[in-house]
Amino acid sequence: MPMLDIQLVGPVAEPDRRDLARRIADAAGAVFASPPGETWVTLHIVAPEAYAENGGGPPVGVQLVIVSILQASPPTGPALANQAAQLTRAIAHACGRPPGNVHLVYQPNAKGRVAFGGRLVE
């Protein structure tokens, strides 16, 4: 049940935009080894003027990808580090952006605190 909420900062060309969420979902699903329909992606395109960093960053031309990840029980330790590296590369490739521009934020475990259709994830 991995759920990814993704914010792409900067323009995305129209042909790439049409199936970008699906490409990201397929790439992430491969990393999570999840069956079809079980990795969900919500994609938000953020205009450059709607993003800022204190001190004037990011440098001109850097197009960030900020990913919030919710999993029932994400791995820990080296397995989490491995997943983060694989997921970063997969998302970067799907978006056509460098891996250094992809930032992941892991949310607390969904198990016991998220419900789908009224059914709590156990």
For residue 82, pLDDT over 80 is answered with yes
Residue 69: the pLDDT is 98
Residue 75: the pLDDT is 95
For residue 14, pLDDT over 80 is answered with no
Note down the domain range covering 12: 3-120
CATH classification at residue 24: 3.30.429.10
pLDDT tier for residue 42 given thresholds of 50, 70 and 90: very high
Mean per-residue pLDDT over the chain, rounded: 92
Total of domains in the chain: 1
For residue 71, pLDDT over 90 is answered with yes
pLDDT tier for residue 16 given thresholds of 50, 70 and 90: confident
Give the Cβ contact number of residue 91 at 10 Å: 25
- Mind giving me the DSSP string for 10-56? S---HHHHTTHHHHHHHHHHHHHTPPTT-SEEEEEEE-GGG---GGG
